[in-house]
Amino acid sequence: MTQHIGELNPPVRLMLTPGPSSVDPRVYRALSMPLVGHLDPWFRGCMDETQILLRQIFQTENRITMPLSASGSGGIEASVLNVLEEGDDAIIAVNGIFSERMYEIATRASSKVTKVEAPYGKPVDAEDLRRAGRGKKIKMIGLAQGETSTGVLTKLDAFRKVADELGALLVVDTVASLAAVPLHVDRERIDICFSGSQKALSAPPGMSPITVSLVAEEVFRKRKTRVQSWYFDLTTAMNYWGKDRLYHHTPPISLIFALREAMRLVLEEGLEARWERHRVNQLALIAGLEAMGLKLLVEKPADRLPTVTAVIIPGGVDDVKVRNQLLDEFNIEIAGGFGSIKGKIWRVGLMGYCSQKPNVLLFLAALEKCLIDQGFQVGSGAGVGTAIRSYSQVEAATAVSR
C-alpha cells in the first residue's frame, strides 16, 4: 500500500499559550540558514556569540553558560543531577506541576529530598523552607521563578537568604520567565539558573539555556560519585562549550542559529523595556478579563507571573468548547489546566513575540464572542474597552515621568 503524503503546510496560529510562543520572522530566517558542521571554525565563532548573548540575558559573567540540547525539562534534569548525590539533603519549593517535576527528578538522585508546598495560585513561603531546613545540612534549594501551571511569580531574595543560612545552592527554574521578568543571576547570586528557548525568548523549542556559578562549579568538583546522566554532565558538556570545543554530542545547529537571532532581538529591545512590555500587556489583559466578569486564580497582583495568566472558567461555560472555538474561528491557541485544576482554568500566555497590544485586544474580543455564544453575560465591548483604557493610563503615566 502506498499513501501519498503531501508537502508540509502547518496552519499559522497565534500561540497565546504558556509555550511555545509564536516567533519573529527573523527567527524563521535564521532557522533556514545553511547548516555548518558543529566543529567548523566558523561555527565555533557562532557558539562564542551565542554564549555572549546568553550571559547578557542572564545578567551573568559565569564561565559555564550555554544552551543545553534539550527542552526546559532537560534544564531541570541537568541542574538537579549535577548537584545531588545519593544521601544529599535538598529542599524543593513546590507550587505547581513544574516545581513538582524538579522534586520528582531530585528524588531520583537522592532519597533525602524535602518538599515544601504552597496551594495552587500562591508562592511558597520562604519561612516554611527555613523551618524545614533547620538543623540539617542542605545541599540545594530549588524553585521555579515562574510556575507556569498556575501563573505564579516567586520573588527570589527571601530564598537566597534561606539558602545562605543553610549553606545551600540556590537552583532556579526560569523557563517561563527569562527575558520577561526582572532577573539578575550574578546580583541575586543564583547558583544554577536555566530556561527554555520556546517561552519568553520566542525561539523554537529544543534548547535549554543554563548558567552555573563558580560556587556551584566547586560543588561539582567535590562530587564523590559521577553524575548519573552522561548526556547532562555539565563538566564534560563544557569540553564542547568551553575553550577546547571538543566533540561531546552533535548540537541542534539550526536551533542555535534561531536562538542566537531570538536573543539578538531581546537585546535590541533591551531587557528592561522587554520586562516592562510584558508587565503592561498583562495589566491590560487582566483589566479586560475582569471587566468581562472573569476571575483570576492568582489573587494577589504581586504574585502574578507576567507571561501566564490563569483565568478561572466561569460556571456553565465549557472549557474545551471555548478553546476549540478560539482555535477554529480565530486561529488562537490558549491552554487549559493540568492535574487537579484541569477544566477549572484557562492559561493565557503573553510571552516574548506574542506579548503585543494587538494580540491582547484581539484575544479579548475573541473570548468575548465565545463566552456570548455560550450564554455567559458579558457587558458589550467591556473587555476591549477596559484594556484600551489600561493602555492609555500607562501611556499617560510614562508621558508624565518623561
Q: How far is the CB of 175 from ligand PLP (least distance, A)?
A: 3
What span, in angstroms and rounded, lies between the C-alpha atoms of 366 and 379? 14
Of 44-52, 132-140, 171-179, 234-242, the window that binds ligand PLP (rule: CB under 6 A) is: 171-179
Residue 65 makes contact with ligand PLP by CB under 6 A? no
State which H helix or E strand residue 336 sits in: strand 335-336
Window 190 to 209, contacts with ligand PLP (CB under 6 A): 196, 205
Contact 348, 308 (CB under 8 A): yes
Q: How far is the CB of 339 from ligand PLP (least distance, A)?
A: 14
Window 323 to 352, contacts with ligand PLP (CB under 6 A): none
Query: What secondary structure letter does DSSP report for 344?
Result: T
Q: Candidates 23, 62, 64, 72: give the one binding ligand PLP (CB under 6 A).
A: 72
Q: How far is the CB of 255 from ligand PLP (least distance, A)?
A: 12
Residue 345 or 384 with smaller CB distance to ligand PLP: 345
Q: How far is the CB of 141 from ligand PLP (least distance, A)?
A: 16
One DSSP character per residue, 108-126 reads: HH-SEEEEEE--TTSPPPH
Q: What cell numbers appear for 335 in the block?
A: 491552554
Encode 195-232 in three state secondary structure.
CCCCCCCCCCCCCEEEEECHHHHHHHHCCCCCCCCCCC
Q: How far is the CB of 294 from ligand PLP (least distance, A)?
A: 23
Residue 73 makes contact with ligand PLP by CB under 6 A? yes
Residue 179, SS3?
Answer: coil
Encode 173-197 in three state secondary structure.
ECCCCCCCCCCCCCCCCCCEEECCC
Residue 62 or 71 with smaller CB distance to ligand PLP: 71
**Beta carbons within 10 angstroms of residue 35's beta carbon:** 10
Window 26 to 55, contacts with ligand PLP (CB under 6 A): none
Total binding residues toward ligand PLP, as defined by CB under 6 A? 14
Residue 146 or 352 with smaller CB distance to ligand PLP: 146
Residue 271, SS3?
Answer: helix
Window 102 to 161, contacts with ligand PLP (CB under 6 A): 144, 146, 148
Q: Which residue has the cell 537585546?
A: 267
Residue nearest to ligand PLP (CB): 72
In the stretch 8-27, what mask flags binding to ligand PLP with x, by CB under 6 A?
A: ----------xx--------
Residue 172 makes contact with ligand PLP by CB under 6 A? no
Pick from 231, 213, 174, 181: nearest CA to 197: 174
Q: How far is the CB of 72 from ligand PLP (least distance, A)?
A: 3
**Beta carbons within 10 angstroms of residue 13's beta carbon:** 13
Contact 150, 96 (CB under 8 A): yes
Q: Which residue has the cell 559555564?
A: 64
Give the interface with ligand PLP as residue ranges (CB under 6 A). 18-19, 71-73, 98, 144, 146, 148, 173, 175-176, 196, 205
